[in-house]
Structure 1
């Protein structure tokens, strides 16, 4: 038994910059699951709010999550560290990633992905990076290398992804979500740097250089 947060390596292939992704939510589903930071071995658990299961509503024309959704292991968005570009603090989670391949993944599956870019989603005043990547075994993987190639080979996909994140909380009575950089997806080099910085913060956490329990968070390491 291993922790999907701490025990799965960040990189599947360091030379090629291929990362591991832990699938939390398969495409087209709506129940919210996440790596549980507080429990021993950090299992993938239901995302609860006031002891109620959380779901994403269907916002026409979208149905559930548009992609396989998950996390990059051995990364952590430090809630006590203000990002110099977004000017907001981290959201106390592993980095999120949306995987845009054709196959509907299974929860708990570990995919090897190449990174194409990243969007800075601001969630209730916190930076919540959304990496975009593709399974290296997907038929489109050989054609997708960066955000521009996603726009070329998957027209409308970037715009619909941004739109989904903007509106998905409105049915729950909340306002439209906002983004840094006016919602622009940054390139893969920027995304690799985001991952590198989050990995450094995770290392500090796991080695005790940063406490794993404060008044802001409580993480089982």
Structure 2
């Protein structure tokens, strides 16, 4: 897990649940601010918020001290991702690129909408199932600009560089 560890507090699937990250020295860190954006040239870090095949909608809490991962809430209820038969939850590992932010004050020239005030989302489409809070290294394959409730919400499509089932990628 790249020298990072996790500490969970409270019961999963509760409003109080928090997952904190620690560095190799055991010190608490922010997955939003303290993990480098890049791992190497053309390789980025990704913080896994929602592991493949799970459906609790987790996210980095950008307004909480140390920015733990917690379950998203909408209208006072915990959020879950809808299942798409025959699968349960996301069919990929879903997370964020640290040290990125979609500016709610900047109108994107491509979408005509402002950013969603969150780190940039990543979908790791490899075959490996990751763990919540895991920090992985990914290569970018492409990007989608989505509009969610009137806000620009970029989705980076990537693949884990350590995924044994990945195909060989070639640059052209």
Give the corresponding residue for 1:167: none
1:123 pairs with one of 135, 141, 148: 148
Question: How big is the shift at 1:139?
Answer: 2.6
Task: Provide structure 2 residue ranges, at least 5 long, that are not aligned to the other structure.
Answer: 1-27
Question: Do residues 95 (structure 1) and 120 (structure 2) align?
Answer: yes
Which runs of 4 or more aligned residues in structure 1 lie more than 2 Å from their structure 2 counterparts after TM superposition?
59-63, 139-142
Give the corresponding residue for 1:9: 36
1:77 pairs with one of 102, 110, 133: 102
| TM-score where L is the length of structure 1 | 0.62
Deviation string, structure 1 residues 31-83 (Cα, Å, up to 9, x no partner): 11000011001000011113211001223344210100000000000001001
1:41 pairs with one of 66, 86, 100: 66
Give the corresponding residue for 1:55: 80
Q: Which has the higher helix share?
A: 1
The aligned length equals: 145
Q: Contact 2:37 / 2:98 at 8 angstroms: preserved in 1?
A: yes
Q: Which has the higher strand share?
A: 2
Q: Contact 2:52 / 2:91 at 8 angstroms: preserved in 1?
A: yes
Deviation string, structure 1 residues 82-103 (Cα, Å, up to 9, x no partner): 0111111100000000001111
CA RMSD of aligned residues (A): 1.6
Question: How big is the shift at 1:142?
Answer: 5.2
| 2-structure distance, mates of 1:128, 1:145 | 28
